[in-house]
């Protein structure tokens, strides 16, 4: 089972979020288990097929450029032209990082999750080359038109260092090894409809969860902002202002199909069951 | 008036686009005027408020990270925390570049326009600082919650070198001076409805333009894929396969309000007027 961090969000600096101050919980939340930074990073990397690569020019200057990628055990597989500036840069200096932004779910861009994967590129050989080629093609259908052109090179970015930012005030770092050992969340990418259903039809239950399980007995209303294999993220209107909390399921789930039974169980617990 | 390049697209390498080969025009197109690389870059930079910054770590490694920005005469204005890795990097080494991707209009991500703006950052002083602060706030509303925090620094990226990629096979480089002197296109961001109208109600006229003005007398059908102040981009079904052409207006236009009269004039020319 993947490593799980518990407890509140990691904060690097004063929260510049929606409110000048966020009221703290009045009682200890019951279970704030959430995905590890490595899992969050794997989930973001799996959520799209485009990112921005940072490479070094011949003068050692930093060069940002748009790329597509597939994933091989979490390591990005790039297919770039040797005639393009980033292709020349990689051939000259293998150091690289890629920034990947999760598809936006909120109007404020800095509320989106994003990750930087840093390391160095290598051109894969033999069976790994076949697997890398397949991984790129699976993610980038249009690459079939150019992947075998002589001026294109397939590169695997060997991730050594990972920086994950989950939005305002949630962030952490991890190693390439932890990142590769983690798995992308099986629930998050498929939870949109279920989350919308919770908000549309079970707002009272969400508020009850926030009051008894989430540490905010003064909750007036609660909105679910996301679900993953470990629990639900809630945004709260409380008598003291806007707040956020986390409601972990009693046990992690493995697919979105288990989300209904997990939330029913949480509802039962929230009502003193 | 901004500098205008004419002639066909700039190609760096074999086109890896939708078809193995693209049929050339059978006759010389009448007017293929289009925005310069500097104008294309300014238009892309003005189309959003997020990009990816490349900076150098303390070890000189390339570091890619998501940022928001405003624009001051085209130069990106960043507001980043000194506690974040990219903030520490900029304080240590001012060299930076930013990659900006235009909002996607097609399912193939590599068909999107994007630009890299490279140079170095400076913390603006005095009146320029006020203008830079205003520019950032105008583009990034949520920055009002943190722009005055002591751990955030306002940086202006002094653009020295620009690389624009307009999609498959269209690309060019320009200088920071040309980029700053150019203006963002006044038509492109507002042309969506007009382009949809042309395709829905005037497909025959577009095909006639392609046949007599666009160099493809064997056009079977034509779709407008974009409009700017200088003309229309068309994608063609021809008897020889998929092709692309450019139809310049007789004179550049200054707003989307002039698009109708410009296309009526083109329709008249296309029918031998």
Over residues B202-253, the pLDDT tens digits come to 999 999 999 999 999 999 999 999 999 999 999 999 999 999 999 999 999 9
Question: How far away is chain B from the Cα of A157, in angstroms, using its nearest Cα?
Answer: 13
Per-residue pLDDT of B136-181, as tens digits, reads: 999 999 999 899 998 999 999 999 999 999 877 789 999 999 999 9
Contacts with A14 from chain B: Cβ below 8 Å: 149, 151
**Tokens, residue A257:** 């199909």
Whether chain B has a CB inside 8 Å of the CB on A56: the answer is yes
Please tell me if residue B242 touches chain A, with a CB cutoff of 8 Å: no
Query: The tokens 């945004």 sit on which residue?
Result: A235
A72 CB-side CA count, 13 A: 23
Q: From A81, which residue of chain B is nearest by alpha-carbon distance?
A: B13
Instruction: Output the DSSP codes for A33-91.
Output: -EE-HHHHHHHHHHT-SEEEEEEE-TTS-EEEEEEE-EEETTEEEEEEETTSHHHHHHH
Q: Best interface-test mutation with A: which of B48, B54, B118 has the largest number of A CBs within 10 A?
A: B54
Q: From B119, which residue of chain A is nearest by alpha-carbon distance?
A: A61
Nearest Cα neighbor of B199 from B175, B229, B226 is B226
Using a CB–CB cutoff of 8 Å, tell me whether A112 touches chain B.
yes
Q: Of the candidates A101, A111, A149, which has its C-beta nearest B16's C-beta?
A: A149
Chain A residues with CB-CB distance to B61 below 8 A = 95, 97, 118
Q: Which of B96, B97, B108 sits opposite A142 (nearest CB)?
A: B108
- Using CB atoms, which residue from B54, B84, B109 is nearest to A54? B54
Give the pair of three-digit tokens for residue A64. Answer: 């940002």
Looking up tokens 């140079």, which residue turns up? B119
3-class DSSP state of A268: helix
Q: Which residues 145-204 of A have a C-beta within 8 angstroms of B?
A: 145-146, 149, 151-152, 163, 165
Would the CB atoms of A63 and B116 count as touching at under 8 Å?
yes
Could you give the ipTM of this predicted complex? 0.85
Task: Determine the residue of chain A that is closest to B13 in CA distance.
Answer: A83
Q: How many CB atoms lie within 10 A of CB A255?
A: 10
pLDDT in tens, A44-70: 999 999 999 999 999 999 999 999 999
Shortest Cα distance from B89 to chain A (angstroms)? Answer: 11
Q: How far is A119 from chain B (nearest CA, A)?
A: 9
* Of residues B96, B140, B149, nearest to A62 (C-beta): B96
Task: From chain A, pick out residues whose CB is under 8 angstroms from the CB of B17.
Answer: 145
**Does the distance separating the beta carbons of B17 and A98 come in below 8 Å?**
no
Q: Check CB contact of A239 with chain B, cutoff 8 Å.
A: no
Decide which of B53 and A8 is more confident.
Answer: B53
Cα–Cα distances in angstroms (integers) from residue A268 to residues A33, A142, A213, A258, A273, in the given order: 19, 49, 11, 16, 5
SS3 A98: strand
Q: Tens of pLDDT along chain A (273 residues)?
A: 343 343 344 434 444 444 457 899 999 999 999 999 999 999 999 999 999 999 999 999 999 999 999 999 999 999 999 989 999 999 999 999 999 998 876 677 777 899 999 999 999 999 999 999 999 999 999 999 899 998 999 999 999 999 999 877 789 999 999 999 999 999 998 999 999 999 999 999 999 999 999 999 999 999 999 999 999 999 999 999 999 999 999 999 999 999 999 999 999 999 886
Q: H-type helices in chain A, by residue range?
A: 37-46, 85-92, 126-139, 176-181, 192-201, 203-212, 259-270
Give how far A95 is from chain B: nearest CA, Å: 6
Q: How far apart are CA B207 and CA B144, in angstroms?
A: 50
| Nearest beta carbon to residue A62 from set B17, B51, B97 | B97
Residue A102 token pair: 């999760």
> Which residues does chain B have within 8 Å of residue A55's beta carbon, measured at their own beta carbons?
54, 62
Pick the residue from chain B with its C-alpha nearest to A80. Answer: B110
Cβ of residue B85 closer than 8 Å to a chain A Cβ: yes
């Amino acid at each position: 089972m993947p490593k799980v961090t518990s407890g509140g969000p990691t904060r690097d600096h004063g929260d510049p979020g929606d409110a000048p101050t966020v009221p703290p919980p009045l009682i200890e939340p019951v279970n704030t288990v959430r995905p590890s930074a490595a899992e969050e990073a794997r989930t973001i990397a799996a959520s799209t097929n485009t990112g921005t690569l940072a490479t070094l020019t011949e003068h050692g200057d930093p060069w940002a450029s748009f790329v597509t990628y597939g994933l091989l055990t979490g390591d990005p597989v790039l297919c770039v032209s040797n005639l393009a500036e980033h292709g020349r840069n990689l051939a000259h200096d293998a150091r690289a990082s890629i920034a990947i932004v999760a598809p936006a779910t909120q109007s404020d861009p800095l509320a989106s999750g994003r990750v930087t994967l840093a390391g160095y590129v290598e051109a894969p050989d033999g069976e790994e080359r076949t697997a890398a080629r397949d991984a790129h093609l699976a993610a980038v259908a249009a690459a079939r038109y150019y992947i075998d052109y002589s001026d294109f090179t397939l590169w695997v970015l060997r991730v050594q260092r990972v920086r994950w930012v989950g939005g305002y005030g949630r962030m952490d770092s991890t190693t390439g090894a932890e990142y590769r050992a983690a798995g992308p969340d099986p629930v998050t990418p498929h939870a949109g409809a279920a989350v919308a259903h919770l908000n549309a039809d079970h707002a009272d239950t969400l508020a009850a969860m926030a009051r008894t399980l989430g540490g905010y007995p003064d909750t007036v209303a609660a909105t679910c902002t996301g679900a993953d294999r470990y629990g639900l993220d809630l945004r709260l209107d409380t008598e003291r202002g806007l707040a956020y909390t986390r409601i972990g399921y009693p046990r992690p789930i493995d697919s979105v199909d288990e989300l209904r039974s997990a939330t029913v169980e949480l509802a039962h617990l929230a009502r003193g069951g």
